[in-house]
Structure 1
Amino acid sequence: MNYRIITFIARILLYLILPTFAALGQETLHQTVKGTITDLDSNSPIIGANVIVLNSDPILGSNTDINGDFRIEKVPIGRITLVITSIGYEQRVIADIVVGAGKEVVVNAPLQESLVKLEEIVVTDRAHKSEVSNEMVQVSGRTFSVEETNRYAGTFNDPARAVSSFAGIQGNAEGSNHIVVRGNSPNNVQWRMEGIEIPNPNHFAEEGSSGASINILNGKMLANSDFYTGAFTSDYSNVLAGVFDMKMRTGNRDNREYSVGVGILGTDITLEGPFVKGGKSSYLANYRYSTLGLIDNLGIVDFGGVPKYQDLAFKLSFPTKNAGLFTLFGIGGLSSIKDDIEDEETDEIIGKDDFTASMGTINLSHTYFFNSNNSIESFLSLSQNGSGYELKENKTDPNVFEKTFKDELNKFTMTAGTSFLTKINAKNTLKTGINYQHFLFDFEQEFLNNQNVLETWLSDDGDAGMVRTYATWKHRLNDDWTITGGLNYTNFLLNNSQALEPRASVKYQLNETQSISAGFGMHSQLASLPAYHSLVENEAGIRTRPNLDLDLMRAVHYVLGYDRVINENLFFKTEIYYQDLYDVPVENDPTSSYSLINATDGFTDRALVNEGTGVNYGIELTLERYFNRNYYFLITGSLYQSKYTALDGIERDNRFNGNYLTNFLFGKEIYVGGSKNKVLSLNTKVSWSGGRRFTRVDLEASRELGRAVFDEANAFSEQGDDIFKWDLSFSYSWNKKRTRQEINLSIQNATNNKGQVDQYYDDLENKIETSEQLPMFPTIMYTLEF
């Protein structure tokens, strides 16, 4: 990152913002709070629920209508708590709701039906604020809100960076948003949007990976979403490590609202509102363009390697009177970076690289309620994702750059599915579903060998399909015992790989403040599609595709958890887990240590067999104080082991076995001048984790072959430095009538720590280089809502 560019943008933002400070008044500002209250199990609207703003004087509140909707006018800005009650349901308390002058606040909340029918509600809310929205999940789940995504230091408004603060989840020290969940490869994380599996939604992402530099989906588009770390319920499949189950919020159907943001990472605009005033249909859209790309396009600066990207996200909602709810939503992004590679000693240009990536998905879903207890949801999804990279070098002529490496990986996915949800009674809920995915792909990869001949490692196009079906049942024995069980079936039609996977979990409420839970599940996942189609040279010198018959990777998850609500704002949680991985693809060589369990991209040049194993086990601790009295904190810690065994039979540390990680987050809000119209927010995050494992580069063999050769007999025997990282965030927001403005300054790695992460072979310089954690990286962002 060029610091002159950062300074230039910061000055512009300050010149725009500082003159508005003098105009700030002390008037009392208000906003509308509205939303929908639904049944947790059936998702049907609850009529006549009471929604009250706690400690309001005079009392502010509303009742839900026939559609489960409520609306509370003239709520003072600041943070509020809602108390929701309804006869026959358990009370729910939702705290830490931020009310600003720029946008109406939408709160959608499900209620759990009480097993004891009472004439009036007397049950105390026992749920902690981090419980997930999926009614079937009992273990290893955590919800995260838009407010948390924006508030936590170091997130860049990115949900992947936000969840790296949770127990058992480690971020990437080099600056990407790849995450390691309980010692598993980042490639084993799945992304979902509105319950539909989508491709990796990140800019500068390679096919087969699950993260990259910048998330395509702006956090301004998100509603409260969930993240799962193990023992998934049977409606989640083709995943071993973690699931992002993101929800996109619905646009305001009453008023048109707008938001504009300008910052170092991107400039964006958000639009939302009703298609027709007084109607029920609404739209929500966000468009963003790289700020550095804009500056480069204008010719204001001139330097190489400018990351350029743009993205679009939208959601259109069409409720009907008799035909159900139709929703059309999608996200998409384009990204590219070109750069000249210079000799470190002579500054001569010795190479040119060019990387491009694209991702897009558009989805149509339909939900229909037969009655208050039975509904059906169907969807159709079309997606594309791909990446391309080309490297040119002047190996023979200083003035002629010839292609030495190229790959083009493109995939199209068509998915259709339907699910049926029935709430049999207050004790029993059943969910069943089926979906079909069809992949169309075109993969190509070439590499210039040491004889200056282009070798083809990957060259194939074709298609493949996958069928998945499931059933999940939840049974509440009484108010204290809840049991879920289910079955998932997967068939990968390329080679007829199949898996039948039972899942089960149980939760027991010891008393009003404590509960224990346990979960078990069998899970499976495809390798990346390029891995199935790799060309590998056999002993006769003939290139074949030996991996077409690869079976699914599999794992068995065991989880035991304990929760305690210490008081209304303080929550403690611990989980112990054990993951037994088997049928892991490893190189078909009895002397090899290679295993896909360590993969960080989607390609391999090895012949593989499903004879590898692995194990992940550990303990996680969380102590969280929810935002109250203007401050919060979150402390998380994990101790774990992650091992693997390839065909050589030796158990080793896997690449991601850092052994420990811990996070401390703290935030404080200060009302400037005693007015809730002006708020100064201070947030910090301190993380400390064990280093990633790596395999030492064999320098002489690498120079001879012309590409990296590793000491695989001692695979992952080296460990990078322990990673210390301190992130800071300062924001100042101010409200005026019908507008809210905010300026945010974030500093990642404020101490500029430079821990070694890995080592690699530089084939242009013919030497070993080390990679370090991302240095101090400041960003600034200005947002206007109106």
Structure 2
Amino acid sequence: MKKIILVLAFLYTAISFSQTGIIKGIVLDKQSESPLVGATVELLDQQVDTGVITDIDGRFTIKDVPVGRQIVRVSYIGFENTTVPNIEVTTGKDVLLTVSLIESFNQLDEVIVTTETNKDRANNKLATVSARQFGVEEVTRFSGGRSDVGRLAANFAGVSAPDDSRNDIVVRGNSPTGLLWRLEGIPIPNPNHFASFGTTGGPVSAVNPNLLKNSDFITSAFPSEYGNALGGVFDLGFRKGNIDDFEFSAQVGVFTGVEAMAEGPMGSKNGSFLLSARYSLISLVGGGAGGTSATPNYSDVSFNFDFGKGKLGKLSLFGIIGTSDIEFLGNDIDEDDLFAAEDENAFVDSQFGVIGLKHQIPVGKNSFLRTIVAGSYTGNKFTADRFIDKDTPQERIILYTEADNSESRVSFSTLFNSKLSNKATLRTGLLIENYRIDAFNRDREKQPDTNGDGDPDLFTLRDFDETFAIFQPYVQGQFRLTEKITFNAGMHSQYSSLNEQFVFEPRVALNFQLAPNHKLNLGYGLHHQSVSFPLLFLNEEVNGSLLQTNKDLDFVRSNHYVLGYDVKFGNDWRGKIEVYNQDIDKAAVDAFPSSYSSLTEGADFEFDNDKVSLVNNGTGFNRGIELTLEKFFSNSYYGLLTGSFYESKYEGSDGIERNSPFNNGYVVNALAGKEFSLGGKSKNILFVDSRLTFSGGRYYTPVDLAASQQAGFEILQDDIAFSQQYDDYFRWDVKFGIKLNSRNKKQSHRFFVDLQNVTANENIFARRYNRLTNNVDQIDQIGFFPDVGYKFQF
């Protein structure tokens, strides 16, 4: 009996100690991004007291780390210490960290100042106002997020996205078209499946969050390296693969689909590969989702091949390739479908891709040169066949709409970064983008019948193949004036060969550490953006010829002013208040008095097709106040409360101030989550997350019912544009699941159920004219929808 007890005790001990993982990574100088050799990395755990030293490449590995949430402290003589909290260690995958230390202001021999790497600070050291970072854990953790970075941003202060069908991002009242997407330092087209020409959102994201490293989201007064955007910046980066071991994962989810991912070492110079592929689950099992009964098909492949460090520097190859298609067949469509009609067969096909080659080489001890060459493509085709006299003996089908649009882009970016001293950093660079826009669009909507065949004419709205370039040189410096004051200043420039316009954009920011836990931020930036391509290349019939009368429109201009105050209530709590004002001018408006402005575009799935001979006389403004109270994940729970209270107004050529369609007035988000350990010392976890969202309704232009009935298509009352508001938006999501860590193998499992809109609240999607009923019908957004998922790592 004693022998049996001893054997059981030994097995229990062996099983318990086998529940460990690995933390590895690299330690860098934040200003020069050079590796720090000999930095101390300590695991702050009561069960294990261990520490390691970084090698000649700044890399470290901590083995036998107990699974669960861990904290690491990194220190280096002459630099401020940093702690990295909330590191989730599992048995299925090694944890990869990149830790950046900042040199002490006074260059003491030993620094005892310790800071925490919280998400309220951006990865980009020059983004110091209206910026925060986010990681893959947040994207996959928050309920209702569908593992979509766009929907994640909807939880941050200053962002409004009260549309269940798309992930369009409204930043501080700006149109979603004002958002800049970047990947690995290069601007990219709309990275969403089923993307429409000129938009920045879509129903399903093509960005796989499992490949992302900590990335930045910036809402105003961006640093000088960002240009051609008015609303915000999504600056995404891919992580490196595991340089020591091969790791794999497989997962399945309603929206993310079926996924397989692999990573591991490549070559002999600390290189690695990271590769994933996804395919829509709905297309495999059948059925519709996301507000339609039609079956969407979509797939994407993402990769990051790091060739390691050689004599000529570091080289990597990255990319995303995605395709999607869907068929809306009128006989199978429900009357409350968000995207289709019962008297029409519509066919949608879209593609998205970006491939880039990234090279970085040190220049001396404290500088580096980073160069990226990339090619990108986005295209979408749309065909609609309309039933005429449907369900009658005279029924016939005609081609009603035909569109084939594509954007090809070759991008070249070079950036030189130099740490001049522990108090000054200089960054300068150049971005060149060569565009080829090929667009063809014919439509019968709102067209006369000039040939007398009884049908509206099929008018060619766009038919062009245009090539042009945009050049964006910039320079920016960060100066630590004192231990408490940091000053950023820079200049961005922009030139387009299309309209031959050249602009200068000053950017400045000041950070003042009032006290150890109190910080004041000031920021200003001048920003320009091209008018959206679907408007620029519209055709107008002039004396029997089709001309592109919007082609020479100037950039739209916006001045951003920001004042922020941050306070830390402890190591894990922080509060933030930020007020802002954005003055916009040179928006595109009609040459005659009207309510139209290009600032209102992006509220729907497509752009206006009859806005020609526009002029740059429109104005607008966005102003508001934002509040954030955040409890970072510690002691097994987190919380986030954000509130945005704002107004967004514009003026068309008639000089009347109106609400923009993005003037929701307020948005409030409340999120919380808790983890529960199962089985005593077991490191298996039960988790629960919840989110509440409240928002003012969107402003809209009412339908002129009598005119629409007479014309047979929707006519809006443009003289009272955006004068009415939908009811307030409310949604409650609840997510729960379990994480299982293998006791004796390098494996882990994760299962979740995400109940979206659990109260089945009927939020309004649109009030639109129905040509079949000759009435204005209300269409509601997606009701209650459950999302489930499973992930296996090994």
User: Could you tell me how far apart the structure 1 residues matched to 2:608 and 2:281 are?
Assistant: 32
User: Could you tell me how far apart the structure 2 residues matched to 1:238 and 1:346 are?
Assistant: 38
Q: 1:694 to 1:462 in 2, by over 3 A?
A: same
Q: Which residue of 2 aligns with 1:631?
A: 637
CA positional deviation for 1:127: 6.0
- Asked if structure 2 preserves the Cα contact closer than 8 Å seen for 1:593 and 1:713, the reply is no
Q: What are structure 1's unaligned runs of at least 5 residues?
A: 1-23
Q: Which residue of 2 aligns with 1:571?
A: 574
For 1:461, the aligned partner's letter is: D
Q: Where do residues 431-450 of structure 1 align in structure 2 (5 Å cutoff)?
A: 431-448=427-444, 449=447
- Asked if structure 1 preserves the Cα contact closer than 8 Å seen for 2:221 and 2:562, the reply is yes
User: Could you tell me how far apart the structure 2 residues matched to 1:248 and 1:631 are?
Assistant: 27
User: Could you tell me how far apart the structure 1 residues matched to 2:781 and 2:336 are?
Assistant: 26
Tell me whether 335-344 or 684-693 shows the greater mean CA deviation. 335-344
CA positional deviation for 1:129: 3.8
Alignment partner for residue 774 of structure 1, among 758, 782, 785?
782
Q: 1:759 to 1:174 in 2, by over 3 A?
A: farther
- Asked if structure 2 preserves the Cα contact closer than 8 Å seen for 1:481 and 1:507, the reply is yes
Q: Please tell me whether residue 481 in structure 1 is matched to residue 485 in structure 2.
A: yes
CA positional deviation for 1:399: 5.5
Question: Tell me, what secondary structure is at the counterpart of 1:596?
Answer: helix
- Asked if structure 1 preserves the Cα contact closer than 8 Å seen for 2:601 and 2:607, the reply is no
CA positional deviation for 1:742: 0.8
Q: Which residue of 1 aligns with 2:9?
A: none
Alignment partner for residue 384 of structure 1, among 364, 370, 377?
377
- Asked if structure 2 preserves the Cα contact closer than 8 Å seen for 1:692 and 1:758, the reply is no
CA positional deviation for 1:412: 0.4
Alignment partner for residue 467 of structure 1, among 448, 466, 471?
471
User: Could you tell me how far apart the structure 2 residues matched to 1:64 and 1:202 are?
Assistant: 39
- Asked if structure 2 preserves the Cα contact closer than 8 Å seen for 1:587 and 1:595, the reply is no
Q: Which residue of 1 aligns with 2:767?
A: 759
Question: Tell me, what secondary structure is at the counterpart of 1:684?
Answer: strand
Question: Tell me, what secondary structure is at the counterpart of 2:109?
Answer: coil
User: Could you tell me how far apart the structure 2 residues matched to 1:445 and 1:174 are?
Assistant: 28
Q: Which residue of 2 aligns with 1:423?
A: 419
Number of paired residues? 757
Offset from partner CA, 1:61-83 (integer Å, 9 cap, x none) = 21111111111111010000111
Alignment partner for residue 84 of structure 1, among 50, 74, 92?
74
Normalising to structure 2: TM-score of the pair? Answer: 0.92
For 1:366, the aligned partner's letter is: H
Tell me whether 553-562 or 56-65 shows the greater mean CA deviation. 56-65
CA positional deviation for 1:598: 3.8
Q: 1:128 to 1:311 in 2, by over 3 A?
A: closer
User: Could you tell me how far apart the structure 1 residues matched to 2:594 and 2:115 are?
Assistant: 58
- Asked if structure 1 preserves the Cα contact closer than 8 Å seen for 2:199 and 2:602, the reply is no
Q: What are structure 2's unaligned runs of at least 5 residues?
A: 1-13, 450-454
CA positional deviation for 1:770: 2.2
Q: Which residue of 1 aligns with 2:692?
A: 686
CA RMSD of aligned residues (A): 2.1
Q: Please tell me whether residue 233 in structure 1 is matched to residue 223 in structure 2.
A: yes
- Asked if structure 2 preserves the Cα contact closer than 8 Å seen for 1:126 and 1:513, the reply is no
User: Could you tell me how far apart the structure 2 residues matched to 1:625 and 1:345 are?
Assistant: 44
For 1:446, the aligned partner's letter is: R
Q: Please tell me whether residue 361 in structure 1 is matched to residue 369 in structure 2.
A: no
Offset from partner CA, 1:683-731 (integer Å, 9 cap, x none) = 0000101011100111232233343211010000010110011011111
Alignment partner for residue 312 of structure 1, among 301, 304, 309?
301
Normalising to structure 1: TM-score of the pair? Answer: 0.93
- Asked if structure 2 preserves the Cα contact closer than 8 Å seen for 1:198 and 1:361, the reply is yes
Alignment partner for residue 494 of structure 1, among 489, 492, 498?
498
For 1:199, the aligned partner's letter is: P
CA positional deviation for 1:409: 1.0
User: Could you tell me how far apart the structure 1 residues matched to 2:326 and 2:773 are?
Assistant: 21
For 1:531, the aligned partner's letter is: L
CA positional deviation for 1:765: 4.7
Offset from partner CA, 1:28-67 (integer Å, 9 cap, x none) = 4111100011111111111111111113444122111111
CA positional deviation for 1:432: 0.5
Question: Tell me, what secondary structure is at the counterpart of 1:248?
Answer: coil
Q: Which residue of 1 aligns with 2:397?
A: 401
Offset from partner CA, 1:655-687 (integer Å, 9 cap, x none) = 000111101000000011224431111000001
Question: Tell me, what secondary structure is at the counterpart of 1:47?
Answer: coil
User: Could you tell me how far apart the structure 1 residues matched to 2:682 and 2:620 are?
Assistant: 53
Question: Tell me, what secondary structure is at the counterpart of 1:701?
Answer: helix
- Asked if structure 1 preserves the Cα contact closer than 8 Å seen for 2:143 and 2:691, the reply is yes
User: Could you tell me how far apart the structure 1 residues matched to 2:186 and 2:523 are?
Assistant: 24
Alignment partner for residue 562 of structure 2, among 559, 563, 575?
559
Alignment partner for residue 591 of structure 1, among 570, 590, 594?
594
Q: 1:594 to 1:521 in 2, by over 3 A?
A: closer
Q: Where do residues 502-513 of structure 1 align in structure 2 (5 Å cutoff)?
A: 502-513=506-517
User: Could you tell me how far apart the structure 2 residues matched to 1:344 and 1:571 are?
Assistant: 47
Q: Where do residues 125-144 of structure 1 align in structure 2 (5 Å cutoff)?
A: 125=115, 128-144=118-134
Question: Tell me, what secondary structure is at the counterpart of 2:679?
Answer: helix
- Asked if structure 1 preserves the Cα contact closer than 8 Å seen for 2:123 and 2:133, the reply is yes
Q: Please tell me whether residue 373 in structure 1 is matched to residue 366 in structure 2.
A: yes
Q: Which residue of 2 aligns with 1:522?
A: 526
- Asked if structure 1 preserves the Cα contact closer than 8 Å seen for 2:269 and 2:309, the reply is no
- Asked if structure 2 preserves the Cα contact closer than 8 Å seen for 1:475 and 1:484, the reply is yes
- Asked if structure 1 preserves the Cα contact closer than 8 Å seen for 2:619 and 2:651, the reply is yes
CA positional deviation for 1:271: 0.7
CA positional deviation for 1:596: 3.4
Alignment partner for residue 334 of structure 1, among 313, 320, 323?
323
- Asked if structure 2 preserves the Cα contact closer than 8 Å seen for 1:450 and 1:706, the reply is no
- Asked if structure 1 preserves the Cα contact closer than 8 Å seen for 2:182 and 2:236, the reply is yes
Q: Please tell me whether residue 258 in structure 1 is matched to residue 248 in structure 2.
A: yes
User: Could you tell me how far apart the structure 1 residues matched to 2:293 and 2:726 are?
Assistant: 30
For 1:684, the aligned partner's letter is: S
- Asked if structure 2 preserves the Cα contact closer than 8 Å seen for 1:571 and 1:623, the reply is yes
CA positional deviation for 1:179: 1.3
User: Could you tell me how far apart the structure 2 residues matched to 1:604 and 1:182 are?
Assistant: 26
User: Could you tell me how far apart the structure 2 residues matched to 1:681 and 1:725 are?
Assistant: 21
User: Could you tell me how far apart the structure 1 residues matched to 2:420 and 2:611 are?
Assistant: 51
Offset from partner CA, 1:541-597 (integer Å, 9 cap, x none) = 754211011000110000000001110111011100000011111122223434334
- Asked if structure 2 preserves the Cα contact closer than 8 Å seen for 1:529 and 1:602, the reply is no
Q: Which residue of 2 aligns with 1:151?
A: 141
- Asked if structure 2 preserves the Cα contact closer than 8 Å seen for 1:552 and 1:583, the reply is yes
Question: Tell me, what secondary structure is at the counterpart of 1:89?
Answer: coil
User: Could you tell me how far apart the structure 2 residues matched to 1:344 and 1:687 are?
Assistant: 28
Q: Which residue of 2 aligns with 1:717?
A: 723
Offset from partner CA, 1:209-243 (integer Å, 9 cap, x none) = 11101110111111111100000111000000110
Paired-residue identity, %: 35
